[in-house]
Structure 1
Amino acid sequence: MSFNTLGLSEPLLKAIKDQGYTIPTPIQKQALPVVIEGKDVLAAAQTGTGKTAAFTLPLLERLSQTHPKMGKKQIRVLVLTPTRELAAQVAQSIKNYGKYMKYSSTVIYGGVGINPQLATLRKGVDTVIATPGRLLDIAGQEGIDFSALETLILDEADRMLDMGFIHDIKKLMKMMPQRRQTLLFSATFSPDIKKLASGLLKKPVLIEVAKENTTAEQVSQVVHFVDKSRKRELLSQLIKTKNWRQVLVFTRTKHGANRLTKQLEESGITAAAIHGNKSQGARTKALASFKANDIRVLVATDIAARGIDIDQLPHVVNYELPNVPEDYVHRIGRTGRAGQSGEAVSLVCIDEHKLLFDIEKFIKSKINKVQIEAFQPDPDIKAEPIQNGRGSGQKRRSENSRKRSGNNSSRNNKHKETKRRAQKTTP
């Protein structure tokens, strides 16, 4: 089957050819026709299988087939993503595939000034790609109009739930028209995802192209047991002796990412860190340098697990295992994309044996263990509890959401009080 058989117009087929693609992936084969028909979709597929194109291509096709009801451009398509990096990735995909079409789009996320975003929205755009938090802030300032919205897409919906965006999403849903097409794309299905889908989707077409909670077959996985104090030494040795040129390394905490980046630089390995405490400019610069091979190592927290799209990224390293097994699948899904092979290496200390057990239980598979002789763990070291993890991140996200809501409420109350006093003193 080729893209020519999926109902796409010539401008899109030409753009697909420019990108070097000829055969659609399984998720694309199934999703494109039903999305073009205007049906709701609940889709699950492993990361790196072409989910983004599975919704951007048919949405661009629908934009070309229909026209807004009013003269001024209004938002007809909204894509919600959990991270800034993923929002930028989706925006780039829409730009690449829509290069021969007439449409306008913008990307909305935090970490940058809100006023330019408000100005762009006031001029009118067809498509908005946004993170929930910033979009809700803009909606709170009456800076966006959803009345003409035709299609809503929740990309990586499971990650949005993990990051505590569910309340923001529900608030946004109340502002949108009931009659719309809704697409929910996720790397995994879970009870929470199915519950969310039941409240948003109407008679959705269910698409699942991989077994639940599995990892991509083209990614080779290996575990090296090592003492926690020697992980940095082992990582440096692997990078240098195996001549790895492009390595994505995951740590559990922001502080750990900064510390490891500094240590790698001191050992002569070019590296940069990317995490939530970095400014958007710094995150964009680090990712661009990594993609351009100007640095060998990008050290990231799980914020990057869904936002880095490099077709031929060869190596992913779990410097620290994630506390939640699903995150392991998302992390190693950054390699082995678009049919390419990849390698996922996990450096596991005594503290993380339980985490490794949980991951293998989740993916229903044993990971190959290879012991490096010079890094045999000390048998006298006892396991210690792991304090930091995604759970604490969720708590902070929830607290931040409440804080933002509280600030908005406070501003509104002050505005109402000022208005009341003005009315009272007006003759």
Structure 2
Amino acid sequence: MTFTELQLNEALIQAVAKLGFQEATAIQALTIPIILQGSDVVASAQTGTGKTAAFMLPILHQLLIKPRQEGRNPSVLVLAPTRELAQQVANSSISFCEHTDIQVTCLYGGANIGPQEKSLRAGTDVVIATPGRLLDHLIKGSLSLDNITHLVFDEADRMLDMGFMGEIKRIMRKVPNSRQTLLFSATVDESILKQVSGWLNNPTRVGVDTENQAAATVEQIFYSVDEERKRELISHLIGKNNWQQVLIFTRTKNSADEYASELNKDGLATLAIHGDKTQGARDKALAKFKSGEIRVLVATDVAARGIDIESLNYVINAELPYVAEDYIHRIGRSGRAGKTGQAISLVTVDEQWLLEEIEILLDARLVPQWLPGYEPDLTREPKNNRRDSGKSQKQRDKKRILGARTKRRRR
């Protein structure tokens, strides 16, 4: 189905055509007509399937056919869990609005609040924000939500996982009851719906592909390797295959910095991006990665849903995530919009239980390979099985995920 067949405003059709989009994706074809009818929507689809356009295009269409006032307060509010995702949604929205007079403002922490206040004072139609920074503006009085007619929760599951429920409840008290509410996410389960049910009015459920499944366009490869040889193996894979753009995920900020430092020593131009970096540093690292100035970007899960890079082919999990669902979001950075990608995960004997969590989530058997020259030491026992007098770090790690496993089995 084309965007013209979806009966969108001609200015929006021109914008998506310029971006190279002619045919709507499955989630767009399903949700755009429902949103245009004014219904609330709960939609789930894998990453890289065009969720931003699925909710933003019909909302913008509705703005264009209604009269708007000068010096206006926003009509649209999109809540996103991370700065990166907020910026991504804002950039896409600005592109969609190229042939219109609709104004878009992005509000997020870690950046100077002054320019954001100036943009709000000038009048804006669409606000895309992280919960914390939005509350800052509400408290300062630089923003009013009295005119909101469309509210979107983007990646709602991540917002709730990150503990934003308190902030969201405070925001919801400022939003009019008469509005259209849309909830979009890669995964939607009953526990999420239970928490947000009071904010939705008889929503239409829309789903594309099986929830909690990795994208079919991503080839998944697992290598067994000893911890101390992971970095060496990563350098080998990148160098031997001449990969020019590789995104690497780690669990911790320290690991991200350490991998970036060591890979630079191997002659691979690398930068790290994580929560301790300033917003300016993160933006600069991402820009250099997109332009090809650096070859490798190492990231923690804070960036897993906020990095949108066209034709990214390779993702490497240097460390498996503690929460299995994050595996799906990590590898979903490649194989986007129907293109193929490859996700390589390195698994030590101590991470086998994390691999099992992913197997439970995907309902699939994942068998690691041995790469010649990097075979693991089979005499090693998992640290969790050793009779240490005190709790090891891995034991503490395992305890952190037990709650998530129990919660998933109760769904």
Could you say whether these structures have the same fold, taking a TM-score greater than 0.5 normalized by the shorter chain as the test? yes
SS of aligned partner of 2:152: strand
SS of aligned partner of 1:374: coil
CA distance in 1, matches of 2:122, 2:106: 14
Change (3 A) 1:389 1:7: farther
CA distance in 2, matches of 1:199, 1:89: 28
Query: 1:37 corresponds to which residue?
Result: 37
SS of aligned partner of 2:112: coil
Can you give the 5+ residue segments of structure 1 that lack an aligned partner in the other structure? 393-427
Give the TM-score normalised by structure 1. Answer: 0.89
Query: 2:67 corresponds to which residue?
Result: 67
Q: What is the letter of the counterpart of residue 306 of structure 1?
A: R
Query: 2:48 corresponds to which residue?
Result: 48
Query: 2:22 corresponds to which residue?
Result: 22
Q: What is the letter of the counterpart of residue 2 of structure 1?
A: T
Per-residue deviation at 1:138? 1.5
Change (3 A) 1:287 1:117: same
Q: What is the letter of the counterpart of residue 93 of structure 2?
A: I
Deviates more, 1:247-256 or 1:121-130: 121-130
The question of whether the paired residues in 2 share the 8 Å contact of 1:224 and 1:370 is answered with: yes
CA distance in 2, matches of 1:189, 1:55: 16
CA distance in 1, matches of 2:191, 2:239: 43
Q: Does 1:186 align with 2:185?
A: yes
Change (3 A) 1:389 1:171: farther
Alignment of 1:343-358 (within 5 A): 343-358=342-357
Query: 1:220 corresponds to which residue?
Result: 219
CA distance in 1, matches of 2:250, 2:209: 27
Query: 2:405 corresponds to which residue?
Result: none
The question of whether the paired residues in 1 share the 8 Å contact of 2:347 and 2:368 is answered with: no
CA distance in 2, matches of 1:389, 1:258: 23
Query: 2:341 corresponds to which residue?
Result: 342
Q: What is the letter of the counterpart of residue 97 of structure 2?
A: G
CA distance in 2, matches of 1:143, 1:256: 39
Deviates more, 1:15-24 or 1:374-383: 374-383
Change (3 A) 1:106 1:391: farther
Change (3 A) 1:297 1:389: farther
Per-residue deviation at 1:390? 12
SS of aligned partner of 1:375: coil
Per-residue deviation at 1:56? 1.3
Query: 1:301 corresponds to which residue?
Result: 300
Q: What is the letter of the counterpart of residue 106 of structure 1?
A: T
CA distance in 2, matches of 1:291, 1:315: 13
Per-residue deviation at 1:49? 0.6
Query: 1:89 corresponds to which residue?
Result: 88
Query: 1:332 corresponds to which residue?
Result: 331
Query: 1:417 corresponds to which residue?
Result: none
Per-residue deviation at 1:82? 0.7
CA distance in 1, matches of 2:232, 2:309: 27
Q: Does 1:260 align with 2:231?
A: no
The question of whether the paired residues in 2 share the 8 Å contact of 1:219 and 1:341 is answered with: yes
Per-residue deviation at 1:28? 0.1
Q: What is the letter of the counterpart of residue 9 of structure 1?
A: N
CA distance in 2, matches of 1:390, 1:233: 30
CA distance in 1, matches of 2:351, 2:101: 52
Query: 1:374 corresponds to which residue?
Result: 373
Per-residue deviation at 1:60? 1.1
CA distance in 1, matches of 2:352, 2:97: 47
Per-residue deviation at 1:117? 1.4
CA distance in 2, matches of 1:215, 1:364: 11
Query: 2:387 corresponds to which residue?
Result: none
Q: What is the letter of the counterpart of residue 280 of structure 2?
A: G
Query: 1:400 corresponds to which residue?
Result: none
The question of whether the paired residues in 2 share the 8 Å contact of 1:153 and 1:183 is answered with: yes
Change (3 A) 1:390 1:103: farther
CA distance in 2, matches of 1:21, 1:265: 37
SS of aligned partner of 1:264: helix
The question of whether the paired residues in 1 share the 8 Å contact of 2:70 and 2:123 is answered with: no
The number of aligned residues is 392
* Aligned residues with identical type, % of pairs: 48
Q: Does 1:128 align with 2:127?
A: yes
Give the TM-score normalised by structure 2. Answer: 0.93
Query: 2:98 corresponds to which residue?
Result: 99
Query: 1:139 corresponds to which residue?
Result: 138
Q: What is the letter of the counterpart of residue 107 of structure 2?
A: I
Q: What is the letter of the counterpart of residue 53 of structure 1?
A: A
Change (3 A) 1:318 1:299: same
Query: 1:359 corresponds to which residue?
Result: 358
Query: 2:8 corresponds to which residue?
Result: 8
Q: What is the letter of the counterpart of residue 360 of structure 1?
A: E
CA distance in 2, matches of 1:243, 1:46: 29
The question of whether the paired residues in 2 share the 8 Å contact of 1:218 and 1:336 is answered with: yes
SS of aligned partner of 1:178: coil
Q: Deviations along 1:40-98, whole A, 9 cap, x unmatched?
A: 11000000111011011111111101123x54311100111011111111111111111
Per-residue deviation at 1:115? 2.1
CA distance in 2, matches of 1:83, 1:28: 23
The question of whether the paired residues in 2 share the 8 Å contact of 1:47 and 1:187 is answered with: yes
Per-residue deviation at 1:304? 0.8
CA distance in 1, matches of 2:88, 2:297: 17
SS of aligned partner of 1:224: strand
SS of aligned partner of 1:167: helix
Per-residue deviation at 1:318? 0.5
Can you give the 5+ residue segments of structure 2 that lack an aligned partner in the other structure? 384-392, 402-411
SS of aligned partner of 2:171: helix
